[in-house]
Structure 1
Amino acid sequence: MQNKSCLICHVLFASVSSFESPFLTKCCNRWVCDGCLEQNKRYYSYCPFCQEVSITYRKRSNDTTTYTDCSLPTYEEVIYNDLNKLNITFNSFNEKSGKKLDEKSNYSAIHYVKKDDTLIGLAFKYGVEIADIRKANRLFDNNIIARSTLIIPNYVGPSLSEKFSEEEEKKMLVKRFQVRSKCIDPIEAKFYMEHSNYNIENGKYFYSLSRIGTMSSSNQLFGKISLTALS
């Protein structure tokens, strides 16, 4: 036995571990090592030397695959069985982790972003993952300076931030008006928002009329007032 070699990889059994139990083919009495059998289980029933199928073969205790004497499993069947084993493993893992997430998945809170807020600090404060906050708010990085509010997912409880004051909300509305109307001058933008009761759509409408110059009699009066105030 020590001078024998594997039919497939030609390794000498004298150089392998004594705990291995090679497989002996029934057709030509040649040996196949454990490593080759692990890579291709067809060597249990197919002899590459004789190139014929042998019905009698040794089945290992850890091999749960069953074969019939009439037919061998196809490649698709072997792949399908392996995928089923993986799916069972992943499903059992997802069920355990999913039970913990389902309890909080329907809850969220709104956080009003302040100047000193950071994404890492918010995740630590609310006890949630950074990746969950980024996914809920579609953030591509940890920069939250441009955001006025953030959704805190998987959090049960009140928001841990204070709401914006009325003055801060007005400043944010003016900035939004500048972005949507493309008004560069902040003083001019504030004027239109003040005279529109901080309604962005109304302010944008009057701003567009003043830029185009096509106003009705009532809008012309509004335009004169705006020009006087701005001058």
Structure 2
Amino acid sequence: MSRHLSDKGPPLSPTDLESCCTCATLLSQTARYSISSEKPLPPNRSLECCPRVICGACIHKNPRFSTYCPYCQISQTTSSLPPGLKEPPSYDSVAAASHKNVISGQVPPPYAPSSRPNASAARDASSTIDEKSVPSDDEGVGQDVLHFLRHPDDTVSSLSLRYGVPADILRRANNIHADHLLLARRAIMIPGQYYKGGISLSPRPVDGEEEELRKAKIRRWMVACKVHEYDIAVLYLEQADYDLDAAVEAYLADEEWERRNPANGARRGKGFVRARPLPRRISTGRR
């Protein structure tokens, strides 16, 4: 058997049995020249970090293998950075790039100081509250405006939009705890602290001032005499020509006469019929 091996040639050395760690080609069989350009390939590289070799063909295809180990994943170049980190660009390249921009005319605009004072700028930047919800201190506080309601068109939301006053401010200024309670109001107050117009969009009552005055007298008579019948209130006020004091005195006089003459009334059921005739009612058709 030894004779058979000797017939094939001299025995191979350990270096001839080494292969490239990237392409697994025997180093003894790798090409020394490039097939396309016929230029000599880089020499085989023995790695310093591990007992491996990279052939010149692999280094020619990937120049990174000349300084990098794909197994240990470290670079053999001298650097003060830890392995895996890339060095920043040199100052010479940055200076050359900036000089190129200056030559090409790409000069940044000159610095211009802001014309606004720092205090006002800080105030504007930190202000996150709606301007409508907080009145400015510079403007003077206007007078409150009385708005006569037109039901059912006027609501808290519509009045807030028309006057530019927050809805919460309208509710707080008029003691309205729920929006549906606005239907029981004849007018509401628009706070002048938030509304600077000074002019009411509905300055007069819907039915007129005389009608509002008449209804006010009727309500005052009903409260003063403690009578809940609306027709009786209209009856006494019409007979007194809407003189509130005279109408109240007339009703109290009738009540006093009934207390002094309780037996003069004709009995009807369990009660008595008013013996003293009431003044003749003039039907007006108004309530």
Structure with greater contact order relative to length (CA < 8 Å, sep ≥ 6): 1
Structure possessing the higher radius of gyration over alpha carbons: 2
State TM-score, norm by structure 1.
Answer: 0.45
Higher helix share: 1
State TM-score, norm by structure 2.
Answer: 0.37
